[in-house]
Structure 1
Amino acid sequence: MRGAFHAADLDDALASLQQLGPGLANSALAEALNHTANQARQIVRAEMSDVFDRPTPFTLNSIRVLNARPNQLEAALWIKDDKDGAATGKQFAPEDWVAPQVFGGGRQRRASEAWLRQAGILPAGLFAVPGAGARLDQYGNMQRGHMMQILSGLKALNRSGSDHSATASRRSLRKGHATAFFVLKRGKTPIGIAERRGKAVAVVIAFVRQPQYSERLDFHGVVRRVAENDAQLEANIDKAIADALSGRLPTSFSRRPGGRRGS
């Protein structure tokens, strides 16, 4: 999922750039393209906030900018697609759950679903969604602590060969997770997970068919509108020319992904 920015059909602005000389001209154009790409990033981020239901900061900050350089006059915008599990605890890249919102289609499998399926609790082809008794966080997702309790209580939590499931130890029994959770069935078919605390019983997870998303985030449309806004790019080129004449242009350009520069 990628959108690019480059200068085209801007004869007047490009002619002004050439007056700076070949070295400064390319640097100024690269700076203008990068500024335009960062403006588009802010618009995509705002679009996410509008069309998603309480998106997490992790999702909103997943938009990346690949900077233009004087010898590579193209900037690009995309959703983070690397799986940085060690740093974030995530086993999927943001693109995995943002892409269905852009193109439509089914939701990706979550790690908790993989553990439930591996334990023989979640049937093949079904997905886990919060039930009426699930404890949700401020973004409408199931609280991580509650999910860990469920997985531990059902002895489904085994990460990297280390078993974190509830046991018969006194400490584990005091928490009550080993006896609180049980699999709901319709006949012999599992349909969800319930939690019993005292006399109160609530459905915390329901098993459903793969959730399907419609196209909601117009990522490529936003990028295209910004890229085709000649007036905006010309204004950024004019600013870059002024910065070049006053010695404020960057002296070095990094191609590595960015995403936190001001607009």
Structure 2
Amino acid sequence: MLQIDARTNIEELSKALRTVGEKQLPFAFALMATRLAVLVKKGELSVLKARIDRPTTTTLNSLYVKPAKPGNPEARTFFKDAWTSGVPADTYLQQAVKGGRRPHKRFEKALIAKGIMKSGQYALPAASALNQFGNVPRGTIMKILSGLGAAETVSGVQANATGSKRSKRKGNAQKYFAGEVGGTQGVWERKKTAWGDAVRPVFIFSDGEPGYRVILPFYKIADNIVKANRIREFQSAMDTALATKR
């Protein structure tokens, strides 16, 4: 999250007082901060689209601007940190913004808690399991956890595959299994082909901790945008405040 504070230096403050007067000053500063926050959002989205592979609409729509108010001349540009369901962008974009090693995801924690994966391992998605956005769909992940008996660890409800007719019709327990195939550990999907039964990897277990380079230098981008546009937006806000002065 970036906070843009419109409180300014003595020279700008003196100019503002002379131009719009004390009554319109809070409005002008709040307007300047808000406009800068909007510019930051546009700039961040432009870089995000260019550097992140096939970002989802949800990811793009998760960047918000909280406008400044005359009583609090501070605007904010931030990724939404809560959803009604799923993982918020504020969480899954951490590695893109900060780089470094990533913690275990909830899916991995569920596999570890069930004893399916070792505590030092990570589950890396196989290319064949990715959707058009480069992700394993959430529905597929829940089916895997259900089939492996690990769904309750993350969902908090009775979601594991059972021996019931309804559960058997879904077939998650028969479709997915965890183990070693051809010397490779992971989660596998059973499939029927024209040549007979086969399996394909969905997740491969890795003993190495995944690392990420910084893809979206969020704060550097924002700082550059604010510095490049602050004077212009300061003057523009003063003009607007003067035009609306009563």
TM-score higher than 0.5 here? yes
Match for residue 41 of structure 2? 41
The amino acid of 1:167's aligned partner reads: T
Residue 138 of structure 1: how far off its partner (Å): 2.4
- 2:171 aligned with 1:176: yes
The amino acid of 1:67's aligned partner reads: P
- 2:219 aligned with 1:220: yes
The amino acid of 2:51's aligned partner reads: V
For the 8 Å contact 2:4–2:36, the answer to whether it is kept is: no
- 2:147 aligned with 1:153: yes
Mark the CA change 1:97 to 1:18 in structure 2 (over 3 Å): closer, same or farther. farther
For the 8 Å contact 1:19–1:25, the answer to whether it is kept is: no
The alignment of Structure 1 onto Structure 2 pairs a total of residues equal to 240
For the 8 Å contact 1:97–1:108, the answer to whether it is kept is: no
The amino acid of 2:212's aligned partner reads: Y
Question: 3-state DSSP class of the match of 2:93?
Answer: helix
Residues 207-252 of structure 1: CA distance to partner in whole angstroms, max 9, x if unpaired?
Answer: 12332101221211111112212xx333323333333344399xxx
Match for residue 62 of structure 2? 62
Match for residue 115 of structure 1? 110
The amino acid of 2:141's aligned partner reads: M
Mark the CA change 1:97 to 1:14 in structure 2 (over 3 Å): closer, same or farther. farther
Whole-angstrom distance in 2 between the partners of 1:36 and 1:133: 42
Of 184, 189, 194, which residue of structure 2 is paired with 1:195? 189
**Gaps spanning 5+ residues in structure 2: where?**
none
Question: 3-state DSSP class of the match of 1:71?
Answer: coil
Of 176, 180, 184, which residue of structure 2 is paired with 1:185? 180
Residue 63 of structure 1: how far off its partner (Å): 2.8
Mark the CA change 1:89 to 1:22 in structure 2 (over 3 Å): closer, same or farther. same
Whole-angstrom distance in 1 between the partners of 2:40 and 2:132: 27
- 2:232 aligned with 1:235: yes
Match for residue 30 of structure 2? 30
- 2:129 aligned with 1:130: no
Structure with the largest fraction of helix: 2
Whole-angstrom distance in 1 between the partners of 2:141 and 2:147: 10
For the 8 Å contact 2:19–2:238, the answer to whether it is kept is: no
Residue 171 of structure 1: how far off its partner (Å): 2.6
**Gaps spanning 5+ residues in structure 1: where?**
250-263
- The two structures, once aligned, show a CA RMSD in angstroms of 2.8
For the 8 Å contact 2:145–2:151, the answer to whether it is kept is: yes
Whole-angstrom distance in 2 between the partners of 1:54 and 1:14: 48
For the 8 Å contact 1:131–1:206, the answer to whether it is kept is: yes
Mark the CA change 1:24 to 1:145 in structure 2 (over 3 Å): closer, same or farther. same
Identity %: 31
Mark the CA change 1:140 to 1:42 in structure 2 (over 3 Å): closer, same or farther. same
Whole-angstrom distance in 2 between the partners of 1:221 and 1:132: 32
TM-score relative to the length of structure 1: 0.78
Whole-angstrom distance in 2 between the partners of 1:248 and 1:171: 69
TM-score relative to the length of structure 2: 0.83
Whole-angstrom distance in 1 between the partners of 2:94 and 2:156: 31
The amino acid of 1:76's aligned partner reads: R
Residue 133 of structure 1: how far off its partner (Å): 3.9
Of 133, 137, 144, which residue of structure 2 is paired with 1:139? 133
Residue 186 of structure 1: how far off its partner (Å): 7.3
